[in-house]
Amino acid sequence: RKEVEQDPGPFNVPEGATVAFNCTYSNSASQSFFWYRQDCRKEPKLLMSVYSSGNEDGRFTAQLNRASQYISLLIRDSKLSDSATYLCAVNMGRRALTFGSGTRLQVQP
Amino acid sequence: ETGVTQTPRHLVMGMTNKKSLKCEQHLGHNAMYWYKQSAKKPLELMFVYNFKEQTENNSVPSRFSPECPNSSHLFLHLHTLQPEDSALYLCASSQDRGNREAFFGQGTRLTVV
């Protein structure tokens, strides 16, 4: 089993739609969680951290479910500019971040 | 000035060449990383440095040789690479190796011919 798993997609959604991605992790001792956005041929950029209580930043909401060992990212009112690959990252103690392979989102007009 | 700067942005090298990738971070972080991203593959961690000391080497072939002279600079020395080493090489930094987010440089797109 991979340490961090994501559905590769692509998720094709119309503008204005709500879309959600999940990311599962294998290590129950994982301590911190993040969502990154990566545009084609660019570097990953931090989108948001994922806190135990969940957190929201504008149209983006991140949740953590420790019991089922997954994190989620919800995007409301999708924009064309949201089209990208979304990477989840998990820190399992005092190690570097482990990344999922990413979920590709394509928002269509 | 961006937080993490990598040079060069693009590099084409022959299998017998020797080249170096450079990374500099201006964020005051203590940990620095090299990741490799091949087409349609997840980010692969290569090396981790914490306070200039190498703390992880994820079974990376010896043709890749990292160097960290101080907490702000990280190099990746390349020699006798193979075409399958062609990839995007990303440098990142974080406050420490623990539970903090990492910030990436723009990457070096390497092509080995």
pLDDT in tens, A6-16: 999 999 999 99
Cβ–Cβ below 8 Å for B42 and A49: no
Nearest to A96 among B42, B48, B105 (CB): B48
Cβ–Cβ below 8 Å for A32 and B102: no
Q: Using the predicted structure, report yes or no on whether residue A92 has a pLDDT greater than 90.
A: no
Q: Are A109 and A17 in contact (CB under 8 A)?
A: no
Nearest to A46 among B41, B56, B103 (CB): B103
Please report the pLDDT score of residue B42 as a whole number.
86
Q: Using the predicted structure, report yes or no on whether residue A23 has a pLDDT greater than 80.
A: yes
Please report the pLDDT score of residue A84 as a whole number.
98
- Please tell me which residue of chain B has the smallest CA distance to A87: B42
Please report the pLDDT score of residue A31 as a whole number.
87
Most confident of A86-95, B6-15, B33-42: B6-15
A32 at interface of B, judged by CB pairs closer than 8 A: yes
Give per-residue pLDDT as tens, B65-75: 999 999 999 99
